[in-house]
Structure 1
Amino acid sequence: MSNLSNGLPPRTQSGNESAKRKKTKKKKSFFRSFMKFVLFLLIIGILAGSGYVYYIYNQVEDVLDTGNNREVPKTELAESKPLTVLLLGTDYRPDHPTYLSDVIMVATLNPSTKSSTIVSLPRDTRLEMDGYKPRKLNEYYPVFKAREKESGEVAEEQMKKMIGKYLNINIDYVTVINFQGFRDVVDSLGGVDVTVDKNMCYRDSADGTNINLTAGAKHLNGDQALDFVRYRKSNCRPKTDGSDDFDRNRRQNQVLHSLIDQMQSFNALTKFGAIIKSVDKNMTTDIESQQMKNIVQTYWNISKQNVKYNPVAGTWRSPYVYIDEQQLDAARQALQAELAKKANNNTVTSSNS
């Protein structure tokens, strides 16, 4: 697993340079990748109900290694206390090496109730807060990345501090996933079924973007699914209708639901190796291996009904989204309420749910 002090995982080395290393570390890399993949599924809600993931986990629990072997006190483990994780989805891909965070989510996990609350913030949110220059929310991560050597602070740590301050909550961990990982996961599962809500056409020769989708029920591959969730405006003739952050959030949710259905099918088990490889090169986290293992043990049977998704909306006035303060306050309260929940007959859900 990549150490966050180094940012996102480096590109794969040349064959001659890395062949020996790949051969000697093949088995260890598999298990690192497996745990990264489980975390990815957990945070976006896909893990809910996936009993076969727990079955596979039991087969490898004695050989887990995520690269971060710091010992976690028992009182700090996922089974003992609620945790909060920041999830960033960046637009980084091999043909477009930038780090704009197009997905910004904060997930709280509560072991007492086996439940989670996920808050999603629009990427174009105008953030004005003491200590930070006003800018779009998705621009801070690449700015922090560019200033790492000068500031001496890791970009991911700065994002945890800033988003934590914005939401009035302490963030324990951060995970970064890039667009290439998204595309590869979709392809590894054989594509996703969605309903494209409108015709979409946009081309950009600078980064190879070529969005060309027509409305209706579609089966999309990884590239097309990424186009579907990213589409904002048209530069084609004739022009197609544009989209805002809220349209994109709805499409993102639709794709995630389709991935949930795919992941919870038995057929996904046969594709497990390919999915693991797709996530390995495109994700990094600061979660310790001991904590990662405990998260899976604690939440492997979390129910879909116990995963609450709270997208925060606002008003679009180009080029920003101005957040609805009432919705933002409600999201803050939802995260804090999740952390404070105690088990009772009304909140505990059976593992068979």
Structure 2
Amino acid sequence: MFYISKKLTVRKALKAFVAVFVILILGACSYAGYLYYKADHAIQQISAVEKPVESPDAGDVGVPPLEPAPDLKPMILLLAGIDSREGGEGMMNTDVLMLVSYNPDTRSASFLSIPRDLKIKTKSSSSRKANYYYAHYYIKDKSQAMANTKQLFSEMFDLPIDYMVVVNFDALRQTVDALNGLQIDVEMDMKYRDTADGTNIDLHKGLQKLDGQQVLDYVRYRKSNQGTQESSDFARNQRQQKVIKQILEKMSALSGVSQWGAILDIIGDNVVSDIPESLLRQGIFNFSSLKPDQIQSLHMDSTWKSPFVYVKQSDLYDALATLREEAGLDKDSHPQFESIGTLN
């Protein structure tokens, strides 16, 4: 009797183990299917160049993540941040402009912030600020805005820009909240108020946890009307790059389905790009293996001479050489220095 009882106990334990195992497998498949659905929906919203493909049913399971394409090559992107709030400054004007070079082989990336007020003069127009052009092209023909903006900056900096990514600033606020905030060492008190667009920046110096709105205030702060020290474009660009690095680090550590689902919804609602859907899928489904381990922030000295910003010519040349080298291009380039606000 003891032997039979013991045998029944073992069978029950085995059945319980199998049941738990099956539940875990089904849960994992549902998790994969849910994220695939979310990612595919986000990709269709982001991509501006390929027709959307039919999404799988949210209940579909067992769709494996794609492996990185063996022919994935280094690339250069133009990243633009816009403020589309009602009453926002300039509406479609790009409040942030960055040239980003990414090498998947070395898993490294470099960021060069282009001052929003950098003087740019084209052959067909008078001198304008760098943040003017995307809005200008968008108003003329939004379907060609990215292509025309890329062409302008590619020719101006003698840098072949592969893709452009346009991010609504509200994506930053929502993403930081979805990541439960960021630990930021605020360099100084920052205060600025504008009742026209609802801006109310009120940050204090020191290491602290900031929520999404506070991080947005931190990266946008330039001037003060409340008695605090003003920020240079260089310092502002450094803050933006610091925040991007920390967001990438926190995203790489995400494991919860709800967090990833929320992030994918935010990306889909607030990001537009001409990156092909195939590459977007590689990036989203293989984020942990493609995320750069080494991120370099490139520096340019800048000077304000109303109404434009001017950068040091040698700094610009060196930064462009670094971007080119990381993308596997010849370091030597011939920027149109005569059309860019530069100083010797």
Task: Output the amino acid matched with 1:221.
Answer: D
Aligned counterpart for 2:74 among listed residues 82, 94, 100? 82
Give distance in 2, aligned partners of 1:35 and 1:115: 24
8 A contact 1:90–1:178 mirrored in 2: yes
- Out of 225, 232, 242, the position equivalent to 1:254 is 242
Instruction: Report deviation, 1:266.
Output: 4.7
Equivalent in the alignment of 1:31? 39
Q: Report the TM-score when normalising by structure 2.
A: 0.71
Match for residue 205 of structure 1 among 161, 184, 195:
195
Distance 1:231 1:185, change over 3 A: same
Q: Does 1:172 align with 2:162?
A: yes
Contact 1:31 1:60 in 2 (8 A): no
2:277 is aligned to 289
What is the Cα deviation at residue 148 of structure 1?
A: 1.9
Shift of 1:191: 1.1
Partner of 1:333: 321
Give how far 1:111 is off.
4.3
Distance 2:275 2:175 in 1: 21
Q: 1:163 aligns with which of 153, 167, 186?
A: 153
Say whether the 8 Å CA contact 2:82–2:93 is kept in structure 1.
yes
Among 94, 103, 112, which residue is 2:96 paired with? Answer: 103
- What amino acid maps onto 1:291 in structure 2? L
Aligned residues: 281
The higher-RCO structure (CA 8 Å, 6+ apart) is 1
SS of match in other structure, 1:340: coil
CA distance in 2, matches of 1:316, 1:269: 46
The alpha-carbon deviation at position 229 of structure 1 amounts to 1.0
Cα pair 1:109 1:117 within 8 Å, conserved: yes
1:11-69: per-residue Cα shift (whole Å, max 9, x none)?
Answer: xxxxxxxxxxxxxxx99862235558999xxxxxxxxxxxxxxxxxx95547xxxxxxx
8 Å contact from structure 1 (residues 79, 295) kept in 2 = no
C-alpha RMSD over aligned residues: 3.3
Q: Hey, what's the Cα distance between the residues in 2 that align with 1:118 and 1:37?
A: 25
Does the C-alpha gap of structure 1 residues 317 and 341 become closer, same or farther in structure 2, counting only changes over 3 Å? closer
Structure 1 residues not aligned, in runs of 5+: 1-25, 40-57, 63-76, 343-353
CA distance in 1, matches of 2:319, 2:180: 35
Deviations along 1:190-237, whole A, 9 cap, x unmatched?
11111111112111111111111121222111111111111111223x
Distance 1:313 1:129, change over 3 A: farther
**Deviation of the 1:88 alpha carbon:** 0.8
- Contact 1:88–1:176 under 8 Å retained in 2: yes
| Matches of 1:328 and 1:270, distance apart in 2 | 42
- How far apart are residue 173 of structure 1 and its match? 1.3
Question: 3-state DSSP class of the match of 1:278?
Answer: helix
Q: What's the secondary structure of 1:207's corresponding residue?
A: coil
Select the residue among 121, 141, 152 that pairs with 2:114: 121
Quick one: structure 1 residues 175 and 202, their matched pair in 2 at CA, closer, same or farther if it must change by over 3 Å? same
Under a length normalisation based on structure 1, what TM-score does the superposition of the two structures give? 0.69
List gaps (5 residues or longer) in structure 2.
1-33, 48-61, 331-344
The answer as to whether partners of 1:90 and 1:99 remain within 8 angstroms in 2 is: yes
1:217 to 207, 232, 238: 207
Name the SS for the 1:198 alignment partner. Answer: coil
Instruction: Answer with 1 or 2: which has the greater Rg.
Output: 2
Query: What is the percent sequence identity of the aligned residues?
Result: 31
Q: Secondary structure at the match of 1:177?
A: strand
- 2:265 corresponding residue in structure 1: 277
Secondary structure, counterpart of 1:321 in structure 2: strand
Report Cα offsets for 1:79-104 as digits up to 9, x if no partner.
Answer: 25332221111122356381121221
- 1:323–1:128 CA distance, 2 compared to 1 (3 A): farther
